[in-house]
Amino acid sequence: MATIGVFDSGLGGLTVVRELRRLMPKSSIIYLGDTARVPYGTKSEATIRRYAVEDAEFLLRREVDVIVIACHTASSIASDYLKALHPETAIISVLEPSVRAAVKASNSGKIGIIGTTATIRSGKHKSEILKYGDFHVIGKPCPLFVPLVEEGLIEGQIPELIAEMYLEQLKGQIDTLVLACTHYPLLKPTIRKVMGDDVTLIDPSEEVAKVVKQKFDDGEEKGTLEVYLTDIPPGYLALIEQFLGEPPDSIVRVSVFE
Amino acid sequence: MATIGVFDSGLGGLTVVRELRRLMPKSSIIYLGDTARVPYGTKSEATIRRYAVEDAEFLLRREVDVIVIACHTASSIASDYLKALHPETAIISVLEPSVRAAVKASNSGKIGIIGTTATIRSGKHKSEILKYGDFHVIGKPCPLFVPLVEEGLIEGQIPELIAEMYLEQLKGQIDTLVLACTHYPLLKPTIRKVMGDDVTLIDPSEEVAKVVKQKFDDGEEKGTLEVYLTDIPPGYLALIEQFLGEPPDSIVRVSVFE
């Protein structure tokens, strides 16, 4: 039975854990959320890379068999670097599975990507999609989406106006939209309303969980879920509930250097 | 001539530097913005305290004569702790001067405080105001205000709706409102529109600069301004321009442990 390590800049990556638990209920999962330094998406590439290296090393010290990068910003900027640093370790980023799903879903060949400023600026989704052929890719950063979700403002006039502002330039231009940030799937009804029913929305947490399940066998008895956080912020239990949907077996505050 | 050290969780504290430069143009300023770990306002008290200690020690290693805490979150949660740790150092937090100005401005004795979740949760403004007498204090966290300002959304329908949402419970209840976060004064026109003309808005950066000027003599020749940042994020020059209004003499990326 494989022990699955998952890291994210904060709590949003628990959506990936939720999918993994659904598909592989008998596997043990160790989750690291770098809540002391969240968010990553507004920071420089050098800093994001450094944080991702520290996060991965934390999981490796706990002898995980695979590292899943649940954070789209870290996936976009640091996954190649991490794979080069740890060639002996299976490292699965949330990026490739979501790109593959988008390519498969798109009929027109016109794909939109929304994510943090750092994710979109990296151009990594675009370059990965272009490996599959002649696609037209439009990236758009949506920096207010994460704070909206963390405020619980996921439906209604304010999120709709903000979604209109960000997505206007994508309307009618694409047939597939990748929600390339852990928080964005929670805004699905609002994004759907703005984009219309004809656009396929790709939820990367589902896609990455499928890939892990293909590569690793599930265990034989109920798997445990340990959650490590670099900070225990106020209101964290409500956010864990929102993203994970169940209480973990343990929540421990750690330094990534431990 | 005193060398003034200023620290903040990010770039917003440069509004304090702008006021200091206006009042004390012949003093040298060393500014530390902890952009690698921004924001502080959503994190736990323990983590905020640790970060503030590291920030202060960074400035002390550069032999500043006074430390100005420009960050309201750090002021609310860590200033007493920092003063106890460094009794030999003059430490001026942005909190006390703004509280004093609010108490002076209020006729009804009803004062509102808006800030980050951590700032409001600390109750520090309230307890400081109550030292002046029998005031009624209402605190309200406004977590979306910082991302709005960083998105450049300071006027128009979206910021107005969000300001309405947060400030509704304060309308008609107070005659003085403390903008207890470095970013909030940039939303003054929107806050003014929602709150009406009869409410006095307290801009703490002006208040803290006055206190520093009272306590220290200005220098004899043009003062320098060195800016140290723990991360150089994309778009940082536009934000520096927005908060500071002038280019600093130098911008250096550092670790707070250096």
Report how far apart, in Å, the C-alpha atoms of A65 and of each of A78, A88, A97 are: 19, 10, 19
Report the pLDDT value the prediction gives residue B258, as an integer from 0 to 100. Answer: 62
Distance from CA of A53 to the nearest CA of B (A): 15
Distance CA A42, CA A93 (A): 19
State the CB neighbour count (10 A cutoff) for residue A144: 24
A181 is catalytic: yes
Give the separation between CA A179 and CA A113, rounded to whole angstroms.
7
Cα Rg for chain A, rounded, in angstroms? Answer: 17
CATH class of B96-204: alpha beta
* Tokens at B102, concatenated: 């609010």
Please indicate if any CB of chain B lies within 8 Å of the CB of A158.
Answer: yes
Q: What is the helix (H) or strand (E) element at residue A189, kind and residue range?
A: helix A188-195
A175-211 pLDDT, tens digit per residue, is 999 999 999 999 999 999 999 999 999 999 999 999 9
d(CA B101, CA B210): 11
Write out residues in chain B with pLDDT < 70, as ranges: 257-258
> In sequence order, what are the residues at sequence separation of 6 or more whose Cβ sits closer than 8 angstroms to the Cβ of residue B84?
none
Per-residue burial over B33-68, b if 16 or more Cβ lie within 10 Å, else e, is bbbbbbbbbbbbbebbbbbbbbbbebbeeeebebbb
A44–B231: do the CB atoms touch at under 8 Å? yes
Two tokens at A138?
Answer: 């439009």
pLDDT digits (tens, 9 = 90+) for A44-77: 999 999 999 999 999 999 999 999 999 999 999 9
Cβ(B107)–Cβ(B29) below 8 Å: no
Q: Kindly compute the dihedral angle of the four CA atoms of residues A78, A83, A86, A88, in this order, to the nearest 10 degrees.
A: 160
pLDDT confidence of residue A22: 96
pLDDT of residue A235: 84
What are the residue ranges of CATH 3.40.50.1860 in chain A?
A: 3-93+206-253, 96-204
Which strands form A3-8's sheet, in the order they lie side by side? A90-93, A66-69, A3-8, A28-33, A225-229, A250-253
Q: Provide the chain B residues 65-124 that lie in CB contact (below 8 A) with chain A.
A: 117-118, 121
Beta carbons within 8 Å of B65's beta carbon, 6+ residues apart:
B2, B3, B4, B5, B90, B216
Output the pTM of the full model. Answer: 0.95
In this complex, which of A38, A147, A165 lies closest to B147 when CB atoms are compared? A147
B59 near A CB under 8 A? no
ipTM of the predicted structure? 0.94
For residues A221 and A1, the answer to whether their CB atoms sit within 8 Å is: no
Specify the pLDDT at position A258: 63
Query: Which chain A residue has its CA at the smallest distance from B117's CA?
Result: A234
Size of interface A-B (CB pairs under 8 A): 69
Catalytic entry in A30, A181, A195, A244:
A181
Which range, of A154-163, A237-246, B116-125, B182-191, averages the lowest pLDDT? Answer: A237-246
* Cα–Cα separations (whole angstroms), residue A178 to A154, A156, B182: 18, 22, 34
The predicted pLDDT at position A242 comes to: 86
Which CATH code of 1.10.1040.10, 3.40.47.10, 3.30.360.10, 3.40.50.1860 fits the domain covering B3-93+206-253? 3.40.50.1860
The alpha carbon of residue A2 is apart from the nearest alpha carbon of chain B, in Å, by 33
> In the structure encoding, which two tokens stand for residue A143, read together?
């920096």
A167 and A195 Cβ atoms separated by less than 8 Å: yes
Q: Which residue has the tokens 């939820």?
A: A203
Strand partners, A253: A229
Q: Cβ contact (<8 Å) for B231 and A161? A: no
3-class SS letters over chain B: CCEEEEEECCCCCHHHHHHHHHHCCCCEEEEEECCCCCCCCCCCHHHHHHHHHHHHHHHHHCCCCEEEECCHHHHHHHHHHHHHHCCCCEEEECHHHHHHHHHHHCCCCEEEEEECHHHHHHCHHHHHHHCCCCCEEEEEECCCHHHHHHCCCCCCHHHHHHHHHHHHHHCCCCCEEEECCCCHHHHHHHHHHHHCCCCEEECHHHHHHHHHHHHCCCCCCCCCEEEEECCCCCCHHHHHHHHHCCCCCEEEECCCCC
The sign one gets for the Cα dihedral A86, A87, A90, A94 is positive
- Angstrom distance (rounded) from CA B145 to CA B155: 12
pLDDT in tens, A70-101: 999 999 999 999 999 999 999 999 999 999 99
Alpha-carbon gap, residue A230 to A36, rounded angstroms: 5
